[in-house]
Structure 1
Amino acid sequence: MSEWLEVILRTLFAVVVLFLLTKLLGKRQVSQLSFFEYITGITVGSLAAYISLDTDKHWHLGLIALIVWVACSLGIEYLQMKSKKARDFIDFKSAVLIKDGKILEDHMKKERLTTDELLEELRKKDVFNISEVEFAIMESDGAINVLLKRENQPLTPKHLGIKVAPEKEPQAVIMDGKVLDKPLDTLNLTRSWLDGALEKMGLTVENVFLGQVDSYGELTVDLYADDFKVPQPQDKPQLYALLKKCEADLEMFSLSTENEKAKKMYEQCAEQLQASLKVLKPLIQS
């Protein structure tokens, strides 16, 4: 067999073996790497290259080494899941870099991290002032996580005592100009509903590159024609206008009637509707 043909066949074989073994190692191997996973990635790649290019009769030794290395990796990962001491020994421990707005210089030196590098990582977290940080920690994979002081944390509905409904992930119902029936079933929607929503926008399924439905049942689309401006849905603004009209009507009824009992009822309904509108306004006008 010609050497070039042998190299092609071995490379294809190495690709298949490497793919299967990487699948066996799991998603962690392709995510943010820990110290040992970094070494594993380099070694496995080198062994795969050896299998592809070594044209002598001992190429199978590279395959054996590759299998042994992957087996060791799996064994170490199992040991790490069972023992915290093993995790701390094999991987780096997490290190606190900032506490109560104060940089811990000794920990910085131990992690060989400069002030410029720390500031750069904080800016990636939208933090520009050290004094705003309650706690910053370098994880075992080198990532830096930051907890802001309470007064510097973004305001959330929980801080205001507002309960919000759980948010469901948007479902892609159209992709590459084709309707996806399973996401529609998940949302309890039909193709007829989808056709109607597209008709309101003056579109057909074939025009749409990607279409998504959010948890409120609103369809948003991205078209193949980038220059075409998609009409914005009017259902929410119309609903808000209708509710405001109802509120105004109730206030007018309370002013026009001479029946005290009816007047009080209209006033109470108007106040309840006004309170409801304050809660619904961010959702309806978004």
Structure 2
Amino acid sequence: MWTPLIYTTEVVTQKSRRLRIFLRGNLCLLSKIENSIGKSSKNHLHIDQLMQLLQAKDIFSLQEVEHAVLEKDGTVSVLRNAAYDSVIKQDLKLPQQDVLLPIILVSDEQIRQDTLKENGLLHGCIEEYRRIKTLN
């Protein structure tokens, strides 16, 4: 019973734009977010809810938002104002650093020999580390 219903719904929504909008909803572009507070009430979205969605994206002021899109699933996609955009290492032309994953060498007060071998470490490295820690 459910399979034909789901299949029919999928076929109909692929063929008809009007039915797709009716059944799945439509995106709402909140272009200038300060002016779109009235529009958001059309989508049953209160300013407090909008601010909560923006805060989840680490945006705490409406001035930081250039454009926002209210997605079909209720989330907000945001394009930040250029003045508030985050700076990344590539912008500053800093050299890339390798990201190393932490490894567990001692577990349950036992040295894990398999981890030592996988990472090309010697048993003496751990003993030297322990000696340095006890001196401090």
TM-score bracket relative to the smaller structure: 0.5 to 0.7
Classify 1:100/1:201 alpha carbon distance in 2 versus 1 (closer, same or farther; 3 Å): farther
TM-score after normalising by structure 2? 0.60
Give 1:189 deviation, angstroms: 3.3
Aligned pairs for 1:240-279 within 5 A? none
Classify 1:111/1:100 alpha carbon distance in 2 versus 1 (closer, same or farther; 3 Å): closer
Map of 1:173 onto structure 2:
104
RMSD over aligned Cα, in angstroms? 4.2
Map of 2:28 onto structure 1:
95
Identical-residue share of aligned pairs (%): 19
Map of 1:52 onto structure 2:
none
Question: Aligned partner of 1:171: which letter?
Answer: P
Which of structures 1 and 2 has the bigger CA Rg? 1
Map of 1:122 onto structure 2:
54
Contact 1:173/1:181 (8 A) holds in 2? no
More contact order relative to length (CA 8 Å, sep ≥ 6):
2
Aligned pairs for 1:119-268 within 5 A? 119-168=51-100, 170-174=101-105, 177=108, 179=112, 181=114, 185=118, 188-190=119-121, 192=123, 195-196=126-127, 198-199=129-130, 200-202=132-134
Give 1:152 deviation, angstroms: 0.7
Distance in 2, Cα, partners of 1:197 & 1:91:
63
Question: Aligned partner of 1:189: which letter?
Answer: G
Distance in 2, Cα, partners of 1:180 & 1:104:
61
Q: Which has the higher helix share?
A: 1
Give 1:117 deviation, angstroms: 1.2
Give 1:132 deviation, angstroms: 1.7
Contact 1:96/1:107 (8 A) holds in 2? no
Distance in 1, Cα, partners of 2:77 & 2:64:
14
Please list the CA deviations of residues 164-198 of structure 1 after superposition, one character each: whole Å capped at 9, or x if unmatched.
23535x2342586364846972xx33362662465
